[in-house]
């Protein structure tokens, strides 16, 4: 297979590989860099995230609120006939939804719904 490189068509195959490498390295240098920040997803514990209001990284403050999962467990327990235990899901943080607030500006940053 013969590779045509326009101006470099009469260069040996070994040199063509080197030229291609130089070309792609130069392409990487002139292309704009995309900076992304990868953080762990926010769930039921405080996590580090970027506050769009403060424009800085913060460790979120969490607040638990009764959500759909607590109601579903309550209904399930009630259907099973355990009337005394039906309010337990409303007392467990592991059944509640979680709101993540910025500790600096107190704005809501993320709402983690379990269902």
Positions that interact with Zn ion (CB under 5 A)? 51, 53-54, 102, 104-105
Beta carbon of residue 55, minimum distance to Zn ion (angstroms, whole number): 8
Q: Give the nearer residue to Zn ion in terms of CB position, either 16 or 61.
A: 61
Beta carbon of residue 67, minimum distance to Zn ion (angstroms, whole number): 24
Q: Give the nearer residue to Zn ion in terms of CB position, either 74 or 102.
A: 102
Beta carbon of residue 109, minimum distance to Zn ion (angstroms, whole number): 7
Strands (E), 1-115: 48-51, 56-59, 61-65, 97-101, 108-112
Q: Which of 62, 64, 69, 63 is nearest to 115 (CA)?
A: 69
Please give the span between the terminal C-alpha atoms of the chain, in angstroms, as a whole number: 57
- Which residues, in sequence order, are bridge partners of residue 61? 101
Q: Give the nearer residue to Zn ion in terms of CB position, either 94 or 107.
A: 107
């Amino acid at each position: 297979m013969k590779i045509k490189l326009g101006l470099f068509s009469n260069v040996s195959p070994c040199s063509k590989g080197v030229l291609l490498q130089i070309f792609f390295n130069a392409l990487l240098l002139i292309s704009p860099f995309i900076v992304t920040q990868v953080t762990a997803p926010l769930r039921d514990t405080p996590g580090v995230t970027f506050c769009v209001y403060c424009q800085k990284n913060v460790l979120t403050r969490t607040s638990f609120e009764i959500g759909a999962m607590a109601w579903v467990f309550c209904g399930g327990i009630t259907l099973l006939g355990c009337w005394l235990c039906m309010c337990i899901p409303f007392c467990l943080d592991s059944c509640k939804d979680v709101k993540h607030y910025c500790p600096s500006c107190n704005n809501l940053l993320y709402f983690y719904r379990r269902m």
